[in-house]
Chain A
Amino acid sequence: MSINIRNIVLFSAMGLALVMTGMYQSWPLALTILNMALISAVMALGVNMQWGYAGIFNVGIMGFTAIGGLAAVLIAMPPVPEAWAAGGMGAMLGLMMGAATIFAAILIYKTMQPGKLRGLSIILVLAVGYILTSLVYGPATHAISRVDPAATGFLGGLGLPVILSWPVGALMAAGLAFVVGRVALGLRSDYLAIATLGISEIVIAVLKFEVWLTRGVNNVSGIPRAVPRPVELQTRDWVQGLADRMGMSVAEMARIVELVSYAILFTIVLGILIWLAEKALNSPWGRMMRAIRDNEVAARAMGKDVTRRHLMIFILGSATCGLAGAMMVTLDGQLTPGSYEPLRFTFLMWVMVIVGGSGNNWGSVLGAFVIWFLWVQAEPLGRWLMDVLTSGLGADSAVRVHLMNQAAHTRLIMMGTALLLMLRFAPRGLIPER
């Protein structure tokens, strides 16, 4: 980023807004907004890599975020030995058989001569593989979900520190992106959009309905924390001392200390990512990427393998989203598959990148902060706005009551309007690409 006055002013204004929230509303609220804004910034960086550097349109961000969240469960939750005994091996064997079936089908497709025989053998392999897999997989997963369903009913994880799930989440998202990208990249850009839309719904369906893996809609809560809980912090002397000096209750101080520690962790991750992204963007590699984005045909003529480069950046961007997903589940301490909504996890990210300035890493970060702040604060604003608009109707008017109840949804209208206005009047965003 060129250090210029404008950008410094924009970021300071954002910081000031957060400080004002802390002073006039509450500090835990301001810090909660800050933490989610940091995670959103990581996600926005990932989206920006895909859209801003390479012009790839991914509408399945939610799926990659969710699979990162799954990593947090698989890494950090303690294993459930009874469930492993009941069907752990069966489930693993089933998964491997399923994978082997698909590999066998691909192998046949690649090695045999095209023709009816090839088609028939692929269908035969898939059918036999499917039946054998479901014979192993079905009973095993059912047995797992029957193990104390109220408390566990799933395999649990590896019981490792939760921080480890961040890189693992990124890797899992990268693997998914590799498969999707191999299928849909290199075709028209709309096709990738639809393919990613589909895969993200499938990931959410897996999280919701594969009870043996994620407890489904029962949610996995109590994921081990990355920093001490407020309850533990309250007993520490320095927290009590700090609370005394600031004139706050010990409970509130402990909460603030916890949130600040998360903010520090997230800031470190974001800092490293921005540093890497800026380095990459200003390297020959980044120039090549932008050249491909601006004129694919010319880049191809220069001997660049556009499809391979696109696949690479698609994987990198999705991995970043997976990392953010693992961070988010770490912050929440629970995985709630029902809470993944495309509007919030996919399309809001797009608003962030467009508003912030696509193609500019700092722009995406600022966009993430601004939009997340507005997203949270728009709710009371919408309520107030609706109150003023309908005040002429009388306190017990049915229309007024209905509109007041739905007033929170005005933030969707605000986000859409913000996106449309930016796209129309400042298409390069708050911090334009250099």
Chain B
Amino acid sequence: MENILNALVVLANFVLIPGLAYGSQIALGALGITLIYSILRFAHFAHGDIMAFGTAFVIFGTWGLQYLGISFGPLPTALLALPLGIAVIILYLLTADRLVYRFYRRVKAKPMIFVMASLGVMFVTNGLTRLLIGPGERRFDDGQRFIIGVRDFREWTGLAEGLALRGSQVITVVVALIAMGLLFWFLNRTKSGKSMRAYSDNEDLALLSGINPDRVVWITWAIAGTLMVLAGTLYGLDKSYRPFTYFMLLLPFFAAAIVGGLGSPIGAIVGGYIVAFAEMGITYAWRRFFSHLLPDEWMPAGLMQVLPVDYKFAVTFGILVVVLIFRPTGIFRGKTL
């Protein structure tokens, strides 16, 4: 019995809890991708870079607050600086929309032209981020680091294995759940949310019913921007902030959105957790987990790791390929909001 408990603790400590946090971060990003895809109808390649840009402002805000001696008690100060980052990013996205995307919407350009334009925005944003905060790694987490420490857990339960629960992990999951709840409430219960869904379902019909397309687009950018800054800040608190890492998150974001079904918010969330747990599970060295369950003489040599951590992109890619071959529309039959 104790062996099984120990094994479960190992699993929770190294796969379940980090996977849950990572999955929430990916789900937030993928939600943004999927929203932009279903309303504006293009794959938003600037997502990762704008996320990094917004997080940079959250970091600046955090530094400012720390300088003024303001803290958020046991919680990271960055949460107080979130509104600043979100405001800047919404303003930035609306400016980008006015200067870049609106023109292509007016002339009804092909989706690929939008994607090209988002590449241009990506370049500019990437340059701005590096100019402002530099390409290096930044840490901005403060507050209480651990909710449960490894040693406390061992003393408390008397098990051989310890469990660490970091504050950032709990905050990530809680904030993500609140954001998702609000989003679904907004989409299903408010008039603006309903007009967004109508616009996504059938643009012409929505226009005929008097829905203001510009307003729908603005709301979409505002929501997507909020989600980006949330995802970026939570990822930075949980792991670390580096503009290039954020750019690379594009792949799991898109994979999650496609796996769930492009355009389906619930799909993006499910996809996010699928991608995260698959990545964690396949790159985790299972030796320690099985050492509690199997007798010593049954244990094989090696780490019992399916793929080294370096190949986590291969896992994401593998999921993507399986979905593309067997169910190209994704789990939740995409393209309806």
Contacts and interface: CB of A to CB of B under 8 A. Distances in A.
Interface of A: 55, 57, 59, 130, 134, 138, 183-184, 187-191, 193-195, 197-199, 201-202, 205, 208-209, 342-343, 347, 350-351, 354, 402-403, 405-407, 409-417, 419-420, 423-424, 427
B320 A410 contact: no
A406 B126 CA distance: 12
A191 B135 CA distance: 29
12 contacts: A183-B321, A189-B112, A201-B313, A342-B247, A343-B247, A350-B116, A406-B134, A412-B126, A412-B130, A416-B127, A417-B124, A424-B100
A407 B135 CA distance: 12
Interface residues of B, number: 47
B219 to A, nearest CB: 23
Given A194-B251, A414-B127, 5 more contacts: A187-B328, A198-B251, A409-B131, A419-B119, A419-B120
Contact of A194 (B120, B123, B320): B320
Given A197-B251, A415-B123, A423-B113, A406 B131 contact: yes
Interface in B28-74: 43, 45
Nearest to B132: A406
Contacts of A197: 250-251, 254
A417 B123 CA distance: 8
Interface in B78-127: 100, 103, 111-113, 115-117, 119-127
B258 interface: yes
Nearest to B321: A183
Contacts, number: 129
B254 A194 contact: yes
B220 to A, nearest CB: 18
Interface in B256-312: 258, 262, 302, 306, 308, 310-311
B317 A350 contact: no
Nearest to B135: A409
Contact of B314 (A189, A205, A409): A205
Interface in B218-250: 247-248, 250
A350 B119 contact: yes
Given A190-B111, A403-B131, A209 B308 contact: yes
Nearest to A51: B112
B316 interface: yes
B122 A199 contact: no
Contact of A198 (B113, B115, B132, B255): B255
Given A184-B324, A194-B320, A198-B320, A416 B121 contact: yes
Contact of B117 (A188, A342, A420): A420
Contacts of A57: 112, 115
B325 interface: yes
B324 A190 contact: no
A416 B123 contact: yes
A306 to B, nearest CB: 16
Contact of A420 (B111, B120, B308, B321): B120
B128 interface: yes
B324 A55 contact: no
Contacts of A417: 120, 124
Given A342-B247, A416-B120, A423-B113, A198 B127 contact: no
B123 A343 contact: yes
Given A187-B328, A406-B130, A416 B124 contact: yes
Contact of B116 (A188, A410, A419): A419
A193 B42 CA distance: 12
A201 B320 CA distance: 14
Nearest to A191: B324
Nearest to B110: A55
Closest 8 CB pairs of A and B: A416-B123, A412-B127, A416-B124, A413-B127, A198-B317, A409-B130, A420-B120, A419-B120
Q: Of residues A189, A199, A423, which shows the largest number of chain B Cβ atoms within 10 Å of its Cβ?
A: A423
Contacts of B126: 343, 409, 412, 416
A183 B324 contact: yes
